[in-house]
Structure 1
Amino acid sequence: MGWYFRTFVVDVDRIDGAFQSGDAELLQLIEEMSAEELAEDAELSREEESPTLAQALRLWIMGTCDDEDWVAERSEEAYEHICETLSLASWGNGPYGREWLEHGSRGLKQLGIDGISFKTFIDSSSWSHEDCVRAVAQWESVTVQQRSGVDPYDLGAVEEVIEVARMAAQSPGYGVVCSFSP
């Protein structure tokens, strides 16, 4: 069994700034945009006697809820939901083993692309707008001959993330964040 890899083209500063910001307007916006999904989740959560996504969103944004320890188990899901709601685009696939990141890293290195890194995602960080612009420019300067010298699996991983980086590069102020989930 592997991990699911999801990337989001977002205003990275807005996402980072949302964490325990107390931004009631942001919480309300996400609740309104996700009302149907949150209602379905609430019903399922009642049946399973588990915390709701709405509680996890409140904890993530407002920094408080009724039972923080219990709700915290859904914090990664809340983060993904916030990113999905506020993203210009998202891409995800899987399951992947962690070795997929190694393939992508090796491919980037072989092609001389250092504007972005798969390691950044392992470290729970993000790609800035400038990182994405640089990576796309580097990719566009790679020749067909250089690409043919890269393992096809490695090259495939690079091509997938370059397209995400390209979306961010074309959107001033936007970068890329990532999440992994089992």
Structure 2
Amino acid sequence: MEPLIAKFGLSGDWQARGGTLQGALATLAITQSVGGVLGGILISTWGGLKRQRVLGVLVPMVVSGLAFAAFGASATVLGAAAALLVLGLTLPAMNAHSQSIWQSQVPPEMQGRVFSVRRLIAQFTAPASTALAGALAARYAPGSVAVVAGLVLAAVAALQLLNPVLRRVEDPSLAAHGTEMPAS
């Protein structure tokens, strides 16, 4: 999505400044990466939430959705870069809290299998979402697709903050640690 937005949505800005598409793309990629590194340092230093870690997943999802919408709505490379910086900042917190929830809820003897399936699903959906985003961007303006996608992500995550089942995902009584596995 970033290349399409840089090429079609931000071209007026980087061309007016005497820039190139490659320069705009580099600025966006570097800024998002810096956000990711800073977010990683922040979560590593802080250590994350110790209770209600689901909030450490959902709140950054809301922020990242809003940042992605702001990226799609940006008319300048600087505005788009600022939105991607915020987006990059949120990813390490989201991932760290999600992983810690999974590790606390999945019995150690099953973690290898569960996490490999989880990774497979994540890797499979990335190309599918890229293809879907490309198809939508070909039909509609890429910036509009990003705005809608970001707002949908933010809204769904915000609504999940009200979901009592999801809010109790860390309840020790829900963990399968003491459950007997059937013999295979």
Same structural fold, with TM-score higher than 0.5 when normalized by the shorter chain: no
Interval of TM-score (by shorter of Structure 1 and Structure 2): under 0.3
Kindly indicate which of the two structures has a greater share of residues assigned to helix: 2
- If the length of structure 2 is used for normalisation, what is the TM-score? 0.26
- If the length of structure 1 is used for normalisation, what is the TM-score? 0.26
